[in-house]
A and B are shown apart, each in its own frame.
Chain A
Amino acid sequence: MRLAEAWRVALDALRANRLRSMLTMLGIIIGVAAVVALVGIGTGTKGQIEQQVEGLGSNLLLVVPGRLEAGSAPAASTMDLDDVEAVARVVGDRDRVAATIASGETVRAGSRSTFASMQGVLENTPDVFVRRLDRGTYLSRTDVTTGRRVAVLGAGTATALFGDRDPIGRQITIGGVRFRVIGTFERLGQSLGVDRDSEVHVPVTAAQRLLGTDRIDGLAIRAPDRERINQLSTAVVSVLSDRHPDTDFSAVTQEQILGVLGDILGVLTGVLAAIAGISLLVGGVGVSNIMLVSVRERTKEIGLRKAVGARPRDIGVQFLLEAVLLTTIGGVLGMALGVTAALLVDRFSPVPAAITWWSLALAFGVSAFVGIVFGVVPAQRAGRLDPVVALRTE
């Protein structure tokens, strides 16, 4: 029998039992839709995080105390501003070394207050990490050396405290201490539902005085080029280790962070896809079940086809195609549903979603494969039916 003819017969059989075909497909539709939507969400999230890490600026090297290993607790910092000078000498350019001390603080302006991450930083921070100002100016070298109480607000904090009013030149208090607003940042938006605009940058010296410490939490270095980044990383860690023999230091590059995040999200996406895959499997069992029913119902038809010359293979192919047709039509509908769901999530929730061609191709391939796997047994059974028994069946 020609394949085109077999397709026609299979399609015809599905049409004859429209409702049943639809219900059987439903399992596949839901399974494929779940795979496509969840993989889309995983991919979108991964893409967004990668974008954000890359948005920190390229060739970035982060230096923190302690070992960066799974399961180890972050160590308390022993670094101070003298270490920054020492590292700057290694790097050869003071403007490329940023330092941070951070603390969550309540920030007030008049009767309004908000919670923000206070970051004590050097004046070079916007160059090391890529940050753009919306209004006003950033901290100056003098602000840092003199510990002047001036602040640059994240877009979220600015809105929370001042609404639509211009915050430049106004007074705020951080932890009860007065600061004057000199600038605001451009909005960064949310990532994974976390607001990245609730922050206040102040001179590191002012922050240290406020917190009663002369430590800093960590360093960030923008390497002049990608090639030197590993060499620089070793040099910086060795300088810091010489100065603090009792402390371990770790330097991580952007690629390493991306790698780790990518691994985590990859596993997460895999798990989501596997869960969705299970529902696809259940859908496949449904297909198998219905195909067996269909074989039984059409025993007489099978007998007749055999009597007029159908080989076991012809009958088998016919039923296999029917199963494959069920799952691939279901697969296509599921893809449409999954894409729609992913787009809706992307549009109307903070969770990002991205549809990739490979996930669609995979979903289609898998649904066709499910049809073959779960269609084989019913098809074989149909092919092997004894024509005499089949014809005697009423």
Chain B
Amino acid sequence: MTAPAIVATDISRTYDLDGVSVPALRGVSLSIEPSDYVAIVGTSGSGKSTLMHLLGGLDRPSAGTLLIGGRDVSTLNPAEMAKLRNETIGFVFQSFHLLARTTARDNVALPLVYRGIGRRERRERATAMLDRVGLSHRLDHRPNQMSGGEQQRVAIARALVTDPSVLLADEPTGNLDSTTGQSVLGLLESLNAEGVAVVLVTHDREVAGRARRQIVMKDGVIVR
């Protein structure tokens, strides 16, 4: 058995709102195995996004220990965290977060820029990845020239271009109609079948049901 990709032990995250501390996560323990397929469900405000940000190394827990790729995030500085994200995590967001003035190919190539990879290789890898998500005919389109489903596929290609071990998707189908959502989901599942661990936040019970594991959150804790 290989080591888990992410291990969270009793982590919490408390926000400070004008001197009042707001606990968004309260003692969550969780581990994501390689090739895992986990769905996180829960009511709005239950802390799903907060957890995702922590698992992806975008944020640090206020308490508890969090290992990403075997490294304790509390020992890493912001630059090291950035490198860790770049190498092990792929993010997919509900609102796509593509650079507006940039073509699909350059959007996908963006993470490779921060790896110091040359332009030619970046383009080759981005092109291959767009081909992988079925968008080889949209290489030079800008986000506003693509449908929502296409934009989310570009975002997935961007998340995958660095060969991450974990893909974190926070409501990836939230802005899509159900048919398009299904195809995006199908894409995620086929990637998972190839060995990428997928963690998916969703409000859709049916979607959650397709995952290997389901985690239900409420008021900052895992209830099931």
Contacts and interface: CB of A to CB of B under 8 A. Distances in A.
B116 A307 contact: no
Contact of A1 (B53, B85, B113): B113
B193 interface: no
Nearest to B155: A304
A301 B98 CA distance: 8
B82 A301 contact: no
Given A12-B101, A388-B53, A391-B93, A309 B58 contact: no
A5 interface: yes
Q: How large is the interface on B (under 10, 10 to 19, 20 to 34, 35 or more residues)?
A: 20 to 34
Interface in A226-252: none
B79 interface: yes
Chain A interface mostly helix, strand, loop or mixed? helix
Nearest to B91: A307
B93 A308 contact: no
B59 A312 contact: no
Nearest to B96: A304
Contact of A309 (B85, B95, B97): B85
A391 B58 CA distance: 10
B110 A305 contact: yes
Contacts of B113: 1-2, 5
Interface residues of A, number: 24
A387 B91 CA distance: 12
A35 B158 CA distance: 48
A308 B99 contact: no
Interface string A13-30: 000100000000000000
A300 interface: yes
Contact of B162 (A304, A309, A313, A387): A309
A304 B59 contact: no
B127 interface: no
B82 A306 contact: yes
Give the top 7 A-B pairs by smallest Cβ distance, nearest first.
A309-B86, A309-B114, A308-B111, A311-B79, A311-B82, A304-B97, A388-B59
Interface of B: 53, 56, 58-59, 78-79, 82-83, 85-87, 91, 93, 95, 97, 99, 101, 110-111, 113-116, 118-119, 158, 162
